[in-house]
């Protein structure tokens, strides 16, 4: 009934001659249109486009509001591209107009929600933090709480459930005036508890939501999908099926095909559990059709994983292998995307923390200046009354005021220094942590996932000899690269955390060259390379394990970037109390603009001549180990002609 009333209002408003409306009339129509967004986004779009065409260009508040509502209408339809376009246009309209910051914050807030639903969590956090900065300056408590809610949702999407739980538990203790935010808190708590496996607390939060909403309210689509997940996990398949169908009906009414994929997959899993395979296949085809239509990685992984499962149930090994390859491709892409977004989350959190520190500092400085101004006013007021009697007292008080200001400035400078030192340490720690997350989440897990996939195919006899012949060399190469990467990762981590002790001893460097030649012989022969190194004894005094790893990394890099038939050569030259070791190749070479940053903590990496992957850890580790042993390292390179990397090692006494 409520939808019919709202549609009647829309028809009535649309029938008016909008070109003749004044500002108050347009504002009234915008207010009415907002309710249509959730129940009839198509109708809302039509009316909003008409309003935007007649709103005066200098009515910035109305233009921004209309753009925000139009972006929301596209958003609820699942049309994220048009939503982003309209919201970005609204922000552009307000650029340079400081008086409309709250309207701009509203656009940032909606834009962040769109990016988050699209899976672009880094951009989502950036928009939310921009909105929060504006709300912080305006002391808008309700809006600040709303943005905190959105940041918590983004943490859920990134898998940081503990961090999200801390946010929503804190919000749940506050006095919240907004009905929408008050209703959203238990929804998000329910989602977090479900992900943490605490179904009892998840159900308690869901009951709180249902008590405050009409069961026919389309905004409950997500909560019914969550109910389906919980009931399915508890083994209550009938209740799960009912909830999934409820969510699916809501999304179907909204014509949101992307959102329909998740409840469709949920219903398929229930049908498979009940051994109703034919019905499951029908729904699975629909989910796959929607997934191929959009760019959502999570939805593609769900749809193809379901197809893989159904092919295995039908014992269709050919289809299973086909779906496995596609599923594995999207799964790896999703893992890489999530890893990057987690890095983005850390960067955004750090940038936000830095802005908060600056805000606190500015507030402290403002308070100091305010106190000083008040003190001066008191001095002047008293001086006007007793200037003839207490001149000396006034002078002393002015001197004291100057002293207080000097102390306050000194305290401010001290606080500045503390904040700067903490920021530098935090920045360095974040760089280390971010890179570790990236390597562990993608570079290390990717090859292990490939190994698991091939072993699964072998175990199920689903791969032919031809498939295995194609996969095993690639698997072997991935395993060797992963082993080297893991060695570098562990050594670099220990080095960064100051856990490495340099254990110097006298040893023959020529024997190290020979040992590394034997270790890397297979890769050298595979690329048909020639490898030359000095055999004469060369006693040096350093940590043997560190220098051995330096030689191995540099020779491995030369192999990686050399083409078939290339030449790799190690030369040595005495330089006072040191020997200079030069590892030379005639490979791809390094771009000139990269050379200055090659040994910085920027983890530069590129693919080899056969597409070999890298992490950028090797050269940084080489620099650390050479310098810990008192030596230096530098590089000479020309693109297309080759590279020479020189490092020095102390000679034996």
pLDDT score of 636: 92
Bridge pairing between strands 633-638 and 642-650:
antiparallel
- CATH class of the 496-650 domain in this structure: alpha beta
Tell me the pLDDT tens digit for each residue of 253-298: 878 888 889 899 999 999 998 889 999 888 988 888 888 877 666 7
For all residues of the chain together, what is the average pLDDT? Answer: 77
Alpha-carbon separation of residue 137 from 140, 251, 323, 380, 541 (angstroms):
8, 38, 52, 32, 61
pLDDT band at 409 (very low <50, low <70, confident <90, very high): low
Give exposure, 101-120, as e/b (b: 16+ Cβ within 10 Å).
bbbbbbbbbbbbbbbbbbbb
Report how far residue 527's alpha carbon sits from residue 562's, in angstroms, rounded to the nearest whole number. 8
pLDDT at 564 over 70: yes
pLDDT score of 188: 87
- Tokens 């330096």, residue? 550
* Token reading at 112: 């962040």
pLDDT band at 575 (very low <50, low <70, confident <90, very high): very high
CB 304 within 8 A of CB 324: no
Tell me the pLDDT tens digit for each residue of 506-563: 999 999 999 888 888 888 988 889 999 999 999 999 999 889 889 998 998 899 889 8
Q: Is 390 exposed, middle or buried, given 0-12, 13-18 or 19+ CB atoms closer than 10 A?
A: middle
Which residues on adjacent β-strands are paired with residue 507? Answer: 540
Q: Which has more confidence, 410 or 536?
A: 536
pLDDT score of 16: 42
pLDDT band at 333 (very low <50, low <70, confident <90, very high): low
Sheet with 642-650, edge to edge strand ranges = 530-532, 567-575, 578-585, 642-650, 633-638
Q: Which of 523, 527, 529, 526 is nearest to 552 (CA)?
A: 523
CB 63 within 8 A of CB 42: no
Q: Which has more confidence, 173 or 386?
A: 173
* Token reading at 652: 């034996």
- Residue ranges per structural domain of the chain: 235-314, 337-463, 496-650
Report how far residue 255's alpha carbon sits from residue 383's, in angstroms, rounded to the nearest whole number. 76
Tell me the pLDDT tens digit for each residue of 301-312: 888 888 888 888
pLDDT at 2 over 80: no
Q: Which of 588, 585, 581 is nearest to 550 (CA)?
A: 581
pLDDT band at 475 (very low <50, low <70, confident <90, very high): low
pLDDT score of 468: 61
What is the mean pLDDT of the segment spanning 59-69? 88
Report how far residue 565's alpha carbon sits from residue 525's, in angstroms, rounded to the nearest whole number. 10
Q: Which has more confidence, 187 or 542?
A: 542
pTM of the model: 0.43
Q: Which has more confidence, 244 or 438?
A: 244
Q: Which has more confidence, 461 or 316?
A: 316
CB 43 within 8 A of CB 13: no
Tell me the pLDDT tens digit for each residue of 122-152: 788 888 888 888 888 887 788 888 888 888 8
Q: Which secondary structure element, helix H or strand E, spans residue 149, and what is its range?
A: helix 141-158
pLDDT score of 616: 67
pLDDT band at 578 (very low <50, low <70, confident <90, very high): very high
pLDDT score of 510: 93
């Amino acid at each position: 009934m409520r939808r019919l009333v709202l549609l009647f209002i829309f028809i009535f408003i649309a029938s008016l001659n909008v070109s003749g409306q004044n500002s108050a009339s347009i504002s009234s129509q915008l207010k009415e249109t907002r309710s249509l967004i959730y129940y009839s986004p198509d109708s809302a779009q039509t009316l909003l486009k008409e309003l935007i065409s007649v709103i005066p260009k200098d009515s910035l508040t109305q233009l921004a509001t209309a753009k925000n509502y139009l972006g929301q209408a596209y958003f609820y339809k699942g049309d994220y591209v048009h939503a982003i376009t309209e919201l970005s246009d609204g922000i552009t309209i307000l650029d340079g107009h400081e008086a409309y910051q709250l309207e701009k914050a509203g656009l940032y807030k909606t834009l962040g929600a769109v990016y988050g639903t699209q899976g672009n969590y880094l951009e989502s956090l950036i928009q939310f933090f921009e909105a929060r900065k504006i709300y912080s300056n305006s002391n808008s408590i309700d809006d600040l709480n709303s943005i905190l809610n959105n940041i918590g949702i983004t943490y859920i999407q990134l898998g940081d459930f503990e961090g999200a739980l801390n946010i929503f538990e804190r919000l749940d203790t506050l006095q919240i005036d907004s009905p929408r935010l008050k209703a959203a808190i238990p929804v998000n708590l329910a989602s977090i508890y479900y992900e943490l496996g605490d179904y009892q607390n998840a159900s308690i939060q869901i009951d709180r939501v249902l008590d405050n909403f009409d069961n026919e309210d389309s905004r409950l689509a997500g909560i019914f999908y969550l109910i389906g997940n919980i009931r399915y996990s508890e083994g209550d398949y009938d209740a799960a099926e009912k909830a999934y169908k409820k969510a699916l009906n809501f999304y179907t009414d909204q014509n949101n095909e992307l959102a329909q994929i998740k409840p469709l997959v949920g219903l398929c899993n229930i049908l498979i559990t009940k051994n109703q395979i034919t019905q499951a296949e029908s729904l699975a085809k629909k989910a796959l059709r929607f997934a191929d239509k959009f760019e959502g990685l999570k939805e593609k992984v769900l749809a193809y994983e379901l197809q893989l499962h159904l092919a295995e149930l039908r014992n269709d090994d050919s289809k299973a292998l086909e779906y496995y390859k596609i599923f594995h491709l999207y799964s790896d892409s999703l893992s890489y995307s999530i890893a990057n977004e987690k890095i983005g989350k850390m960067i955004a959190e750090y940038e936000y923390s830095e802005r908060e520190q600056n805000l606190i500092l500015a507030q402290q400085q403002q308070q100091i200046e305010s106190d000083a101004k008040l003190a001066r006013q008191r001095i002047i007021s008293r001086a006007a009354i007793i200037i003839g009697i207490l001149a000396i007292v006034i002078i002393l008080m002015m001197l004291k005021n100057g002293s207080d200001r000097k102390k306050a400035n000194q305290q401010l400078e001290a606080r500045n220094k503390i904040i700067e030192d903490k920021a530098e340490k935090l920045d360095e720690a974040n760089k280390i942590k971010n890179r570790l997350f990236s390597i562990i989440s993608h570079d290390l897990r990717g090859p292990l996932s490939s190994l698991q996939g091939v072993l699964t195919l072998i175990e199920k006899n689903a791969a032919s000899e031809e498939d295995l012949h194609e996969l095993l060399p690639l698997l072997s190469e991935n395993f060797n690269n992963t082993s080297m990467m893991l060695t570098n990762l562990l050594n670099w981590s220990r080095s960064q955390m100051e856990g490495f002790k340099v254990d110097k001893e006298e040893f023959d460097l020529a024997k190290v060259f020979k040992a590394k030649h034997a270790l890397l012989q297979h890769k050298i022969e595979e690329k048909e390379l020639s490898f030359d190194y000095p055999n004469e004894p060369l006693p040096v005094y350093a940590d043997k394990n560190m220098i051995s790893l330096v030689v191995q990394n540099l020779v491995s890099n030369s192999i990686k970037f050399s083409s078939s038939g290339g030449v790799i050569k190690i030369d040595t030259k005495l330089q006072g109390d040191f020997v200079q070791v030069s590892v030379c190749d005639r490979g791809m070479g390094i771009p000139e603009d990269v050379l200055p940053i090659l040994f910085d903590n920027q983890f530069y990496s590129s693919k080899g001549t056969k597409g070999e992957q890298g992490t950028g850890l090797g050269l940084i580790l080489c620099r650390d180990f050479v310098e810990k042993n008192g030596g230096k390292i530098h590089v000479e390179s020309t693109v297309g002609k080759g590279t020479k990397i020189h490092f020095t090692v102390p000679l034996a006494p």
